[in-house]
Chains A and B, each alone.
Chain A
Amino acid sequence: MSAKTTIDKTQVALLIATAAFAAAGVIAPYWLCFLTMLALAKALVVQGVVIQMRLGLVSFGQGLFFGIGGYAVGIASNFWGISDAFVLLALALAAAVAVAAVLGLLMARYRDIFFAMLSLALSMILFGVLVKSQGLGSTDGFNVPAQSYLGWVPAPGQQKLVAYVLTIAVVGTVALLLCRYLGSGAGQIAEAVRENEIRVEYLGLSPRWLIYASYVMAAGVAALGGALTAFATGHVDPEMAYWATSGEFVFIALLGGTAHVAAPFLASILFSVVRTYAFEYTPHTWQLILGLVLLAIIVFLPKGLWSLVQREGKVRA
């Protein structure tokens, strides 16, 4: 009973946070909104990594679906003339889910390092294909024109604000859904699968099915993140599917920890703040800093930054 009230509290908090973020967009300067949009879109991808991490699987190739989402938006708006943001989001989601539904059949058979390396290899295949496709702009990628919303085209001055509000709305909705999922039976079993897959099988549940579903779900949220990133930056390029991008997602996931649905969001915002300053002061040692921080997290904070927030003995939401 107490667990249930906690979940509700979290959901209310998420709703309030969503509204607060959306309201902040009106007063905050645009550069801040822009950084927030990118950070939250990235956090969606990280949510996908976290879903799989709860099952004990580390995906080093979430850039695959991040890239698919971005390129679905880019291709649909450039070549098919679709400009409606909601249709574009749906297309990105559908493309990623379709790809994941097929690849998941293969991936659900592998665990541990095999899962990690195969996901990495798959994302690098997409990267290779994108780099070699002249029609898709090769390494430069291409620009994404501005979106319309259900037939409404905002005035050029409003465009950015509307995109910001859309991002907040999508991220808020996904966060709520994920929160409900994590509290559901399937979400709770995830950790049991990580601890001991065979015992979960003995209990009459199918870990492989859960892993498959999580893989597809992670692909879906990653594609939404990619589509929102394409909206925010107005540009897609193969870098989205590059290993370093996927590595960043894993990094943020470990930084936040898997204990709570809010952790990836906080970690992602923290990550972009630090990155903005690090790029300004020490542009050539960014990866060095990342690597050192990653080692520090593994050694000193194995459950991520969220373990600092979480009180001892409290039921997880």
Chain B
Amino acid sequence: MTTAIAIGMDGLIYASWLFLVAAGLTVIYGVMRILNMAHGSFYAIGASAGAALVTWYFANVDGNAYWSFLLLPAAAVVAGVILGLAVEQGLLRFLYRQNEILMVIVTYALLLILEDLTKLVFGVDPYFAYQPYGLLGRCEIAGLIFSNYDLMLVAVSATIASGAWFILNRTVTGKLLRAVVHDREIAMAMGVNVSAMFAATFVVGATLGALAGALTAPAISVSPGIGVEVIILAFAVVVVGGLGSIEGAIVGSLMVGLSRAAAVHLAPEIELFVIYGVMALVLAVRPQGLFGRAAARKI
């Protein structure tokens, strides 16, 4: 019974982290049909910015330690908006006519560029911004100890998920966005400002990536190279649920998160494979993902 609770809780915590990471990727793909390899860099830059700011705050400012909880998302939003705007306006908007696979290569080039820029700006030494993590303490659930920070991440993740769902399904902006997703050209013909939509989507997606990084920063040591593992994980999650679907990302992260937690507790040696195992299984049965629409083959 304890193991079951442990698997459930660990799985939930891991799933919420996965969702945070995958949300930006799926939003950008859903609207723009760009699989953004540089998403991992946004994550890494958000993490570095957040960690650097928090480290600086605790070293130089003798203020209330709880302010660091505002500093983390603030750093992420600033980094995400600047980066997102720069990348979208400076590069991607000139390439929207290209096919999907070429855009993967373009964003791969971006990933390479941003990896080195991150090192140039933040240095190669790891940051340890552990203070916010320790600040919230721990709690006991059914005899098991959990970090409150991790539980807070679950809440944040749930908020973002429901926020995204609400915006997409219950607001005018969301309706316009879904129109663009459904048919870019018809939406344009109907007077939807698609280029503004794209710019906004990319900025939101980039900010979500940076936010995921900044919120994870206190729990890890932030060093160069953390971004790439993230893009593969995020892709696995998004593919399970169906590329471009928020509901899919929620279900995908829960499936992957719970299976990984189960593997960690029951059969640690297969932990590495379980994520890809889930992905391969889903793809073998439903190649378009659980919530994806099957594309018709066009002649």
Please indicate the chain A residues that have their CB under 8 angstroms from the CB of B104 in the complex.
Answer: 58, 60, 113, 116
**Quick one: which of A104-159 are within 8 Å of B by CB?**
106, 109-110, 112-114, 116-118, 120-122, 124-125, 128-129, 132
Give bound CA distance, A117 to B39, whole Å.
Answer: 14
Residue B112 interfacial (CB < 8 Å): yes
Please determine whether B113 and A254 come into contact, CB atoms closer than 8 angstroms. no
Residue B247 interfacial (CB < 8 Å): no
Residue B45 interfacial (CB < 8 Å): no
Q: Is the interface of A mostly helix, strand, loop or mixed?
A: helix
Please indicate the chain A residues that have their CB under 8 angstroms from the CB of B91 in the complex.
Answer: 295
- Tell me whether A121 and B236 are in contact in the complex, defined as CB-CB below 8 angstroms, given that A112-B101, A113-B35 are known contacts: yes
Please determine whether B35 and A199 come into contact, CB atoms closer than 8 angstroms. no
How would residues 17 to 60 of chain A score, 1 for a CB under 8 Å from any chain B CB and 0 otherwise?
Answer: 00000000000000000000000000000000000000010101
Give the Cβ gap from A252 to chain B, nearest Cβ, in Å: 13
* Max chain A C-beta neighbours (<10 A), residue from B104, B229, B279: B104
Residue B249 interfacial (CB < 8 Å): no
Residue A247 interfacial (CB < 8 Å): yes
Please determine whether B120 and A285 come into contact, CB atoms closer than 8 angstroms. yes
26 pairs from A and B in contact (CB 8 Å cutoff): A58-B101, A106-B280, A109-B287, A112-B101, A113-B35, A113-B101, A113-B104, A114-B239, A114-B287, A117-B35, A117-B232, A117-B239, A118-B283, A120-B232, A121-B235, A247-B108, A254-B105, A285-B120, A290-B112, A291-B111, A291-B113, A291-B116, A294-B109, A294-B112, A298-B102, A298-B105
A residues whose Cβ falls under 8 Å from a Cβ of B:
56, 58, 60, 106, 109-110, 112-114, 116-118, 120-122, 124-125, 128-129, 132, 196, 198-199, 243-244, 247, 250, 254, 284-288, 290-292, 294-295, 298
Chain A residue with the shortest CB-CB distance to B119: A284
Please indicate the chain A residues that have their CB under 8 angstroms from the CB of B142 in the complex.
Answer: none
Instruction: Report which of B108, B113, B229, B283 forms a contact with A288, defined as CB distance below 8 A.
Output: B113
Please determine whether B112 and A247 come into contact, CB atoms closer than 8 angstroms. yes
Instruction: Report which of B114, B272, B287 forms a contact with A128, defined as CB distance below 8 A.
Output: B272
Give bound CA distance, A124 to B236, whole Å.
Answer: 12
Please indicate the chain B residues that have their CB under 8 angstroms from the CB of A291 in the complex.
Answer: 109-114, 116
Give the Cβ gap from A241 to chain B, nearest Cβ, in Å: 13
Chain A residue with the shortest CB-CB distance to B297: A198
Give bound CA distance, A112 to B29, whole Å.
Answer: 14
Chain B residue with the shortest CB-CB distance to A58: B101
Instruction: Report which of B105, B116, B229 forms a contact with A286, defined as CB distance below 8 A.
Output: B116
Give the Cβ gap from B75 to chain A, nearest Cβ, in Å: 23
Residue B166 interfacial (CB < 8 Å): no
**Quick one: which of B65-106 are within 8 Å of A by CB?**
91, 99-102, 104-106
Give bound CA distance, A152 to B78, whole Å.
Answer: 65
Give the Cβ gap from A254 to chain B, nearest Cβ, in Å: 7
Please determine whether B102 and A294 come into contact, CB atoms closer than 8 angstroms. no
Residue B284 interfacial (CB < 8 Å): yes
Please determine whether A288 and B105 come into contact, CB atoms closer than 8 angstroms. no
Chain B residue with the shortest CB-CB distance to A254: B105
Instruction: Report which of B108, B115, B236, B239 forms a contact with A294, defined as CB distance below 8 A.
Output: B108
Please determine whether B239 and A125 come into contact, CB atoms closer than 8 angstroms. no
Give bound CA distance, A120 to B108, whole Å.
Answer: 12
* 3 nearest A-B residue pairs (beta carbon): A291-B112, A291-B113, A288-B116
Chain B residue with the shortest CB-CB distance to A124: B232
Residue B276 interfacial (CB < 8 Å): yes
Give bound CA distance, A56 to B102, whole Å.
Answer: 10
